[in-house]
Amino acid sequence: MSDTDITHYETRKAICEYGRSLLEDDLTTGTGGNLSARLDEDHIAISPSGIPYEEIDPVDVPIVDTDGNVVEGDVEPSTEVPMHLAVYRERPDVGGVVHTHSPYATTFASLGESIPASHYLIAFTGSAVPVAEYRTHATAELGEAAVDALGDEYNAALLRNHGVLTADESLGDAYDVALMVEYCARIHYQARAIGDPEILPDDEIDRLSGKLDSYGQ
């Protein structure tokens, strides 16, 4: 087995493991959501379509090229391939993408409201979690809307009436961002239920972003 084959296997295995974590961490239900990782300039590995996460093995994780063609694997890739590819195409800094249906964040997506900096951990995503315009799921148009919302400055966006998209340097980092988005969404939801949350200013978020670069090290 070549070094490339080993790398691809480990990446596909990671997609399986993080897929199961989506359920364990209450970031989705059933077979909802999807995950991907950049393998090289021309290929990504992405979770398969319609298979329960607990039943996915590394060999079931398709590898697709930048046109969305399956080049390795016998299982159909997630229907959200166009959205993932759009992010990788427009954000060369991104190495992993996670799409969830996490309940608190999706509540704000259904309201069409961004999540502001009512908790400092929003700095994992930027100064807020913006909202993408509604587009039908599994379309190139949804990918364009997600990319527009992310821009160059955000690592997460709410997909209006749909869910959440996160993107970062690696799949693990993108997954951590998804956890932070849901946590911040929950805190903001609860704070609003009691009163008016205080929102941190952008300059404080900028300072925090520098500190979080070494978070956990």
Position 210 scores a pLDDT of: 79
Q: Are 80 and 138 in contact (CB under 8 A)?
A: yes
Angle between helices 140-150 and 81-90 (to 10 degrees): 40
Position 212 scores a pLDDT of: 78
Tell me how far apart the alpha carbons of residues 117 and 187 are, in angstroms, rounded to a whole number. 10
Give the residue among 203, 199, 173 at the shortest CA–CA distance from 187: 199
- Average pLDDT per block of 10 residues along the chain, 217 residues long: 73 98 98 98 97 97 97 96 98 98 98 98 97 98 98 98 98 98 98 98 91 62
Q: Are 99 and 28 in contact (CB under 8 A)?
A: no
Position 217 scores a pLDDT of: 45
> Is 99 strand, coil or helix?
strand
First to last CA, the chain: 33
Domain 3-212, classified CATH 3.40.225.10, yes or no: yes
The reported pTM is: 0.95
Checking phi first, is residue 33 left (phi over 0); if not, alpha (psi -120 to 50) or beta? left
User: Any idea which residues carry the catalytic annotation?
Assistant: 80
Tell me whether strands 63-65 and 43-46 are parallel, antiparallel or unpaired.
Answer: antiparallel
